[in-house]
A = this chain, B = another copy of it.
């Protein structure tokens, strides 16, 4: 990299593409018929438990499993803001994370009731996420246009697994034009869940923050951002109609296709200062 390291000093957590276990070298053959070595990202199962109950198995690169578990459970409405988390235990050997709360949450009962009729929580979990949006009001945090450009440039130039190996999504928690926490994962939802887990662990509020993602702005990304209390979501990728509709309904500022000095504002233009 030709740039000063000053930019990267802004991060509280930056990607660590050199970290062992996140990538692997595989043998490939290219169109010239020559053998070559390629660096690729890992992908491994991680099973998340809430107290005694197995909730889900996520496919992940494997870093920050505790944040992933905490953020996933929070974003799915299985762990509320008032639940006291007493311990988070990660067992690398059996690839599990167990999140323990002071009192068993009523989610266990709720889930048991639902699975009796539905067989799988996936569908109903989505309903729980939507329910969490009712009555939600996002703050009038301003967004300066130059922050969009500055964040895009800084994030794109930050050494990352994406630059080193590709096939991975990134999500960055930002404040003004400063990127704070940059998480990556094979699924874009894992990357945003890790951010949510970090925020919960550190007691960080979303009200003055901006979330940047490399992935598409689907309904689920918009819902998660709103549930995290973050009023602004920026992506360099595209968006779906329902993502836009939900952003408009909850009053979230949605910026898509942010590249160079271009972007599309799809919702919440009142926060944008041009």
Contacts and interface: CB of A to CB of B under 8 A. Distances in A.
Interface of A: 23-24, 26, 28-31, 33, 36, 38, 40-45, 47, 53-57, 59, 111-112, 115, 117-124, 126, 145, 165-167, 186, 216-220, 237-244, 256, 261-266, 269, 272, 274
Residue from A41, A42, A119, A220 whose CB has the most chain B CB atoms within 10 Å: A119
A156 to B, nearest CB: 17
B33 A274 contact: yes
A3 to B, nearest CB: 24
Residue from A28, A55, A274 whose CB has the most chain B CB atoms within 10 Å: A28
Contact of A264 (B30, B111, B216, B264): B30
A37 to B, nearest CB: 11
Given A41-B240, A55-B120, A262 B26 contact: no
A175 to B, nearest CB: 22
Contacts of A186: 216, 218, 240
28 contacts: A24-B241, A26-B241, A26-B244, A28-B266, A29-B264, A31-B262, A31-B263, A33-B274, A38-B266, A40-B238, A40-B240, A41-B240, A43-B218, A43-B219, A43-B240, A43-B243, A44-B242, A54-B117, A54-B118, A55-B119, A55-B120, A56-B123, A111-B119, A115-B119, A122-B122, A167-B237, A167-B239, A186-B216
B262 A122 contact: no
Contacts of A45: 123, 126
Given A167-B238, A261-B31, A269-B29, A40 B120 contact: no
Contacts of A272: 29
Residue from A43, A47, A265 whose CB has the most chain B CB atoms within 10 Å: A43
Contact of A121 (B30, B119, B145, B241): B119
Given A59-B220, A115-B119, 15 more contacts: A28-B264, A28-B265, A29-B264, A29-B269, A33-B274, A42-B241, A43-B243, A54-B118, A54-B119, A56-B120, A59-B219, A111-B120, A121-B122, A167-B237, A186-B240
A209 to B, nearest CB: 22
Residue from A36, A40, A41, A117 whose CB has the most chain B CB atoms within 10 Å: A40
A191 B9 CA distance: 42
Contact of A40 (B112, B239, B265): B239
Contacts of A111: 119-120
Nearest to A120: B121
Contacts of A112: 119
A56 B120 CA distance: 6
A121 to B, nearest CB: 4
